[in-house]
């Protein structure tokens, strides 16, 4: 293992985060707070309870997931796309680095950043609603697992994109709808049976469900199924990245 | 009897070809050995395949067929060992923007698997006159300064082999001088240097050996001195006291050329041959009654050789 290189890239990426602290941390916190004001206070006051949890508290896991997903993808995709765009990728490609080490450092940095962000949002949420976490350990596990999985996905997007528009497209067109329809703001049991069945094809449902389980001890989908679903997405992302490096896809001509 | 085998090449390229996914064949079976510690100049026009060749050795482009080994390490199977030995200064000015000079150069060292060593970074930056810029963000530097940064990055991990892809494009006299000073210093320390250039004087000035590449083919590889001798013609220019219309028939036998204004007669000869024929030519010239006021002899430059090579159909 070329640990010096992994460290160098990781620190480089983290330094970039520090430079762009405003976009990376402050803006998600502000937008999450807005969600709390709108959904938690304004609308939430008219909704009694969901699965015996107050609506304000009920949306916390979903909101964290919403930020975690978009930020993981944004960070990781930008992290690898930018050197491709500027051409500085030449140095990464010419370095004595394995594909695994490249992925480890970029995805590691992106996942670290979004995990920290997730925790910050959790603390912010604590200011609006009294929070109670049933399984703090599993909460952290799911937070990390999601951050890693979607940073991997973001890395794929960053390799695939051949323009800044495409970089925006995936989060906007795929991730945001999937998250909104994945039960961030409602329990999928509130949907008519047909849409409940459709929803089960949305991987984000399992993430949110598992994450919510770690908070309240109850879930839309059985926790075991959720874990299998999350790990499958993780495995799929790893397989795609493995293929991309093997073929030199968009990296080497 | 002691048998000394020739020293093993530091880079060995065997039957290397590259066809890009567009179907364009950029390299056609290149075979080339780079000797340890030499300065090798790869000379060729735009689109010859110089950057492609370098990029393959450095691991940036995948070869279509053929093998490359660096210090005995195959670039595909043993890429870590191969790449760790190489520093690359790319042709394009591709740098980060927001990082400081110090950070970006230290980053490169880490990337190549070396532990932090501020002493080395400091020496490299001082050598390249970047020391007073070390805390500046790269985007605030001029183009020439950015090129210095790229060189510093390539040297940050103390490579044994340094590739300079068109190092003097857009570079002023001072930087060029600095660069050659650094290159010579590296060479004295045993670093092998491969540079590409269009500037023939550069190859002539710097290199021990020259390879001429065009349209993906290596036309020849020679010691610079041998190349200059082998292909170097000398020319004798005679300034006539009175211009003439055409070369007198008595001199038709000789390889003479007349300038368009009829004032200068140029005699081209091969300086390798015993008999240059200058004396008999001058005798015959005298008999025609032509007088000259001045004469000048000059060796053809690598540029002439190069142009000559490219013009000869193969
Ligand atoms: N990624 C690519 N896809 C398709 N063709 C390419 C690619 N990169 C280079 N080429 C082609 O390969 C040929 C060789 O290019 P290369 O960059 O190696 O030339 P060069 O000798 O470095 O030229 P220059 O002196 O202009 O830098 C050119 O015709 C170029 O158009
Ligand atoms: Mg080139």
Identify which of B16, B17, B18, B20 to mutate to test ligand 1's pocket (most ligand atoms within 8 A of the CB). B20
In chain B, residues with a C-beta closer than 8 Å to the C-beta of A9 are: 111
Residue found under tokens 């595909």: B76
Q: Report the SS3 class of residue A43.
A: helix
Instruction: Answer yes or no: is the C-beta of B48 below 6 A from any ligand 1 atom.
Output: yes
Tokens of A108: 């590691």
Q: Which atom of ligand 1 is nearest to the CA of B52?
A: 18
Going from the first residue of chain B to its last (314 residues), give the mean pLDDT of each consecutive group of 10, the final group possibly shorter: 71 96 94 95 92 96 96 95 96 91 97 96 94 95 93 96 90 88 93 89 85 90 80 79 86 85 85 76 86 82 65 55
Residues of chain A with pLDDT under 50: none
How distant is the Cα of B78 from the closest Cα of chain A, in angstroms? 10
What lies within 8 Å, CB to CB, of B10 at 6+ separation is: B34, B35, B36, B37, B70, B71, B160, B161, B192
Instruction: Answer yes or no: is the C-beta of B79 below 6 A from any ligand 1 atom.
Output: no
* pLDDT single digits (tens) A132-170: 899 999 999 999 999 999 999 999 999 999 999 988 888
Pairing of strands B25-34, A53-54: unpaired
Phi, psi of B98 (to 5 degrees): -95, -10
Instruction: Answer yes or no: is the C-beta of B92 below 6 A from any ligand 1 atom.
Output: no
In chain B, residues with a C-beta closer than 8 Å to the C-beta of A2 are: 80, 113
Phi, psi of B139 (to 5 degrees): -65, -15
The 10 Å CB-count burial string (b at 16+, else e) for B5-42 is eeeebbbbbeebbbeeeeeeebbeebebebbebbbbbb
CB-based contact B188:B164 (threshold 8 Å): no
What pLDDT does residue B100 have? 95
Of B94, B109, B112, the CB nearest to A88: B94
What lies within 8 Å, CB to CB, of A127 at 6+ separation is: none
Q: Provide the H-helix boundaries in chain B.
A: 50-58, 79-84, 101-111, 118-127, 143-155, 173-188, 200-206, 224-231, 278-287, 302-311
Q: Give the separation between CA B133 and CA B141, rounded to whole angstroms.
A: 8
Q: Using alpha carbons, select from A154, A163, A147 the residue that is nearest to residue A237.
A: A154
Q: How far is CA A43 from CA A37, A126, A128, A208, in A?
A: 9, 18, 14, 21
Q: Whose CA is closest to atom 26 on ligand 1? A: B46
Q: In what order do the strands lie in the sheet with B264-270?
A: B256-258, B264-270, B233-240, B292-299
Instruction: Answer yes or no: is the C-beta of B47 below 6 A from any ligand 1 atom.
Output: yes
Pairing of strands B86-89, B73-74: unpaired
In DSSP notation, B119-130 reads HHHHHHHHHTT-
How distant is the Cα of A247 from the closest Cα of chain B, in angstroms? 10
Contact between A2 and B113 using a beta-carbon 8 Å cutoff: yes
How distant is the Cα of A87 from the closest Cα of chain B, in angstroms? 6
Domains of chain B with bracketed CATH: 11-229 (3.40.50.300), 233-311 (3.30.70)
What pLDDT does residue B237 have? 87
What lies within 8 Å, CB to CB, of B243 at 6+ separation is: B261, B262, B263
Ligand 1 centroid–CA B47 distance in Å is: 5
In chain B, residues with a C-beta closer than 8 Å to the C-beta of A88 are: 94-96
CB-based contact B126:B107 (threshold 8 Å): no
B193 forms bridges with which residues in the sheet? Answer: B39, B162
B13 forms bridges with which residues in the sheet? Answer: B32, B68
Nearest CA in chain A to B159: A95
Instruction: Answer yes or no: is the C-beta of B26 below 6 A from any ligand 1 atom.
Output: yes
Ligand 2 centroid–CA B42 distance in Å is: 10
Of A8, A15, A248, the CB nearest to B111: A8
Q: Using alpha carbons, select from B276, B291, B280 the residue that is nearest to residue B251.
A: B280
Of A7, A96, A248, the CB nearest to B62: A248
Contact between A87 and B94 using a beta-carbon 8 Å cutoff: yes
pTM listed for this prediction? 0.85
What pLDDT does residue A37 have? 82
Q: Give the separation between CA B34 and CA B18, rounded to whole angstroms.
A: 19
Contact between B60 and A4 using a beta-carbon 8 Å cutoff: no
Contact between A93 and B59 using a beta-carbon 8 Å cutoff: yes
Q: Give the separation between CA B111 and CA A8, rounded to whole angstroms.
A: 6
């Amino acid at each position: 293992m070329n640990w010096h290189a992994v460290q160098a890239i990781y620190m480089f990426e983290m330094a970039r985060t520090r430079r762009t602290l405003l976009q990376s941390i402050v803006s998600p916190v502000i937008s999450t707070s807005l969600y709390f004001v709108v959904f938690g206070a304004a609308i939430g006051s008219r909704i009694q309870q969901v699965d015996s949890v107050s609506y304000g508290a009920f949306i916390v896991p979903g909101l964290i997931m919403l930020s975690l997903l978009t930020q993981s993808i944004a960070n990781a995709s930008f992290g690898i796309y930018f050197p491709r765009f500027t051409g500085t990728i030449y140095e990464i490609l010419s370095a004595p680095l394995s594909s695994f080490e490249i992925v480890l450092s970029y995805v590691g940095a992106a996942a670290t950043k979004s995990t920290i962000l997730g925790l910050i949002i959790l603390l912010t949420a604590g200011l609006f609603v009294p929070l109670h976490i049933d399984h703090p350990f599993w909460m952290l596990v799911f937070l990390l697992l999601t951050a890693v999985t979607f940073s991997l996905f973001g890395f794929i997007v960053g390799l695939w994109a051949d323009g800044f528009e495409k970089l925006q497209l995936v989060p906007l067109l795929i991730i945001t709808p999937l998250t909104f329809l994945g039960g961030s703001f409602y329990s999928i049991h509130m949907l008519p049976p047909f849409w409940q069945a459709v929803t089960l094809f949305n991987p984000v449902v399992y993430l949110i469900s598992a994450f919510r389980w770690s908070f309240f001890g109850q879930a839309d989908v059985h926790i075991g199924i959720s874990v299998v679903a999350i790990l499958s997405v993780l495995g799929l992302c790893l397989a795609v990245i493995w293929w991309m490096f093997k073929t030199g896809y968009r990296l080497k001509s | 009897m002691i048998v000394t085998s020739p020293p093993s090449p530091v880079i060995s390229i065997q039957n290397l070809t590259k066809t890009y996914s567009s179907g364009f064949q950029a390299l056609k079976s290149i075979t080339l050995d780079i000797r340890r510690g030499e300065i090798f100049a790869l000379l060729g026009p735009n689109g010859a395949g110089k950057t492609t060749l370098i990029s393959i050795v450095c691991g940036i482009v995948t070869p279509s067929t053929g093998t490359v080994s660096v210090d005995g390490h195959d670039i595909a199977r043993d890429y870590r060992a191969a790449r760790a030995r190489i520093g690359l200064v790319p042709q394009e000015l591709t740098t980060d923007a927001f990082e400081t000079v110090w950070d970006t150069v230290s980053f490169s060292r880490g990337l190549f698997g070396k532990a932090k060593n501020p002493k080395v970074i400091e020496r490299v930056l001082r050598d390249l006159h970047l020391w007073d810029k070390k805390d500046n963000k790269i985007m605030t530097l001029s183009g020439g300064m950015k090129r210095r940064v790229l060189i510093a990055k390539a040297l940050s991990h103390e490579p044994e082999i340094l590739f300079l892809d068109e190092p003097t494009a857009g570079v002023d006299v001072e930087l060029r001088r600095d660069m050659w000073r650094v290159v010579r210093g590296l060479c004295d320390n045993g670093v092998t240097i491969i540079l590409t250039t269009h500037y023939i004087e550069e190859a002539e000035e710097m290199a021990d050996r020259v390879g001429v590449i065009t349209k993906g083919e290596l036309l020849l590889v020679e010691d610079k001195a041998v190349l200059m001798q082998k292909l170097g013609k000398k020319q004798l220019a005679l300034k006539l006291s009175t211009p003439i219309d055409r070369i007198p028939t008595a001199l038709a036998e000789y390889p003479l050329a007349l300038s368009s204004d009829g004032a200068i007669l140029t005699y081209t000869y091969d300086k390798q041959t015993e008999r240059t024929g200058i004396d008999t030519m001058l005798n015959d010239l005298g008999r025609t009654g032509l007088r000259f006021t001045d004469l000048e002899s000059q060796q053809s430059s690598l540029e002439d050789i190069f142009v000559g090579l490219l013009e000869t159909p193969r």
